[in-house]
Amino acid sequence: MRYLKLYKIAKEIDKFNKNKIFINKNKILELLKNFKPKYVGKGGYKRVFLVKLNKRELIFKVGRDVKIQYKIYLERKHKKNFKYAKIYWATEKCLLQKYCKKVKVPVKLIKANKIIAKKNGYSDWRKDNVGLLNNKIIAFDLQSKEHKQERLIK
């Protein structure tokens, strides 16, 4: 398993966060202090941190919908027409993903990829969920219709 130290911290966060949706951002930053964490922001169901390890920048997400995001990644992994940022592992409440630099993506390109995403059953394709990795536009935070319904049931 890659990044075992971060995985152990993720398991600790899972234990700490059994019934809560979010845990304190400062507590997470304290646990991640060896990885030079930087708080990036939050979404509807998660908090996002940038961590540096072995000269690599990774995204560490904490929240209740990370398992759903991991399922989407596994479903899309071998599809050629739709790229999703690599996810190394996911625990109950945490996920480790490759870092994509947010860039200004031309509106035409976003619209063209949005059509492909909708054909594949995915929503939430917008400039905030698209980044640049190896000079290719890659999604790093999408939802599917089935997974939205799954979240609503929980």
| DSSP string over 73-108 | HHHHTT-SS--B--EEEE-SSEEEEE--B-----HH
pLDDT at 114: 75
Phi first, then psi: what are they for 72, rounded to 5°? -60, -45
Which region among 27-36, 52-61, 109-118 has the lowest average model confidence (pLDDT)? 109-118
Helix axes 66-76, 145-153, angle to 10 degrees: 160
* Per-residue pLDDT at 6 exceeds 90: yes
pLDDT at 149: 45
Distance CA 144, CA 154 (A): 16
Show Cβ contacts of residue 121 under 8 Å, excluding neighbours closer than 6 positions: 144, 145, 146
Could you report the per-residue pLDDT of 58-112, keeping only the tens digit for each?
A: 999 998 778 877 887 787 776 666 677 888 999 988 999 888 777 777 777 777 7
| Average pLDDT of the chain to the nearest whole number | 78
pLDDT at 143: 62
Neighbours of 140 (CB within 10 A): 24
Which residues does residue 58 pair with via DSSP β-bridges, in sequence order?
51, 98
What tokens does 60 get? 């560490």
pLDDT at 51: 94
Could you report the per-residue pLDDT of 132-149, keeping only the tens digit for each?
A: 767 677 777 766 555 544
